Structure 1
Amino acid sequence: MLKYASVALALAALGVAQQSEWGQCGGIGWTGATTCVSGTVCSALNAYYSQCIPGTASVTSSAPATGPTAPAGALPRLGGVNTAGYDFSVATDGSFTGTGVSPPTSQYTHFTAEGANLYRIPFAWQLMTPTLGGSIDQSFLSRYDQTVQAALNSGPNVMVIVDLHNYARWNGGIIAQGGPTDAQFQSIWTQLAQKYGSNSRVIFGIMNEPHDIPSISTWANSVQGVVNAVRAAGSKNFLLLPGSSWASAQAFPTEAGPYLVKVTDPLGGTSKLIFDVHKYLDSDNSGTHPDCTTDNVSVLQTLVQFLQANGNRQAILSETGGGNTSSCEMLLGNELSYVKSAYPTLAGFSVWAAGAFDTTYVLTVTPNADGTDQPLWIDAVQPNLP
Structure 2
Amino acid sequence: MKSLFVALVSISCALAQQAIYAQCGGTDWTGDKTCVTGAVCTAVNDYYYQCLPGTASTTATTTSSGPTSTPTVPAGGLPFVGGVNMAGYDFTVATDGSFNGTGSTPPVEQFSHFAQQGVNIFRIPFAWQLMTPTVGGNIDSGFFSRYDGSVQAALNSGSSPWVILDLHNYARWNGQIISQGGPTDAQYASLWSQVAAKYKDNSKIIFGIMNEPHDVPNISTWVASVQAVVDAIRAAGATSQYILLPGSSWSSAQAFPTEAGPQLVKVTDPAGGNSKLIFDVHKYLDSDNSGTHPDCTTDNVSVMQTLVDFLKANGNRQALLSETGGGNTSSCFTALNSELAFVKANSDSIAGFTVWSAGAFDTTYTLTLTPNADGSDQPLWTQAVRPNLP
Deviates more, 1:74-83 or 1:187-196: 74-83
Kindly report which structure 2 residues correspond to 1:140-219, keeping only aligned pairs within 5 A, or say none.
140-219=143-222
Is 1:111 the counterpart of 2:114? The answer is: yes
Is 1:249 the counterpart of 2:248? The answer is: no
2:3 maps to: none
Task: Kindly provide the CA deviation profile for residues 276-320 of structure 1, in whole angstroms up to 9, marking residues without a partner as x.
Answer: 100000111100011111111111011011101111111110001
Distance 1:76 1:12, change over 3 A: farther
Query: Do the aligned residues in 2 keep the contact of 1:64 with 1:342 (CA within 8 Å)?
Result: no
> Offset at 1:346?
1.2
Quote the Cα distance in structure 2 between the aligned partners of 1:212 and 1:33.
42
Report SS of the residue matched to 1:145: helix
Quote the Cα distance in structure 2 between the aligned partners of 1:159 and 1:199.
10
Query: Do the aligned residues in 1 keep the contact of 2:197 with 2:237 (CA within 8 Å)?
Result: yes
Quote the Cα distance in structure 2 between the aligned partners of 1:269 and 1:27.
40
Quote the Cα distance in structure 2 between the aligned partners of 1:328 and 1:156.
27
Task: Kindly provide the CA deviation profile for residues 219-269 of structure 1, in whole angstroms up to 9, marking residues without a partner as x.
Answer: 111111111111111112110001111000111100011011111101111
Task: Kindly provide the CA deviation profile for residues 306-358 of structure 1, in whole angstroms up to 9, marking residues without a partner as x.
Answer: 10111111111000111111111111111111111111211111111110000
Q: Write the letter of the residue equivalent to 1:334.
A: S
Gaps of 5+ in 2: 1-8
Distance 1:263 1:65, change over 3 A: farther
Q: Write the letter of the residue equivalent to 2:12.
A: L
Task: Kindly provide the CA deviation profile for residues 99-150 of structure 1, in whole angstroms up to 9, marking residues without a partner as x.
Answer: 1010100000101011111110000000000000000001100110001000
1:229 maps to: 232
Q: Quick check: which has more Rg, 1 or 2?
A: 2
2:90 maps to: 87
1:293 maps to: 297
Superposition RMSD on alpha carbons, in Å? 2.0
Q: Write the letter of the residue equivalent to 1:113.
A: Q
Report SS of the residue matched to 2:119: coil
Quote the Cα distance in structure 2 between the aligned partners of 1:38 and 1:88.
49
2:54 maps to: 54
Deviates more, 1:151-160 or 1:190-199: 151-160
> Offset at 1:70?
1.4
Kindly report which structure 2 residues correspond to 1:256-335, keeping only aligned pairs within 5 A, or say none.
256-335=260-339
2:356 maps to: 352
Q: Write the letter of the residue equivalent to 1:15.
A: C
Q: Write the letter of the residue equivalent to 2:364.
A: T
Query: Do the aligned residues in 1 keep the contact of 2:48 with 2:337 (CA within 8 Å)?
Result: yes
Distance 1:185 1:29, change over 3 A: farther
Report SS of the residue matched to 2:104: coil
Query: Do the aligned residues in 1 keep the contact of 2:82 with 2:352 (CA within 8 Å)?
Result: yes
Query: Do the aligned residues in 2 keep the contact of 1:162 with 1:203 (CA within 8 Å)?
Result: yes
Kindly report which structure 2 residues correspond to 1:5-16, keeping only aligned pairs within 5 A, or say none.
14-16=12-14
> Offset at 1:217?
1.1
Query: Do the aligned residues in 1 keep the contact of 2:20 with 2:36 (CA within 8 Å)?
Result: yes
Gaps of 5+ in 1: 1-10
Q: Write the letter of the residue equivalent to 1:51.
A: C
Query: Do the aligned residues in 2 keep the contact of 1:29 with 1:330 (CA within 8 Å)?
Result: no
Distance 1:40 1:51, change over 3 A: closer
Report SS of the residue matched to 1:120: strand
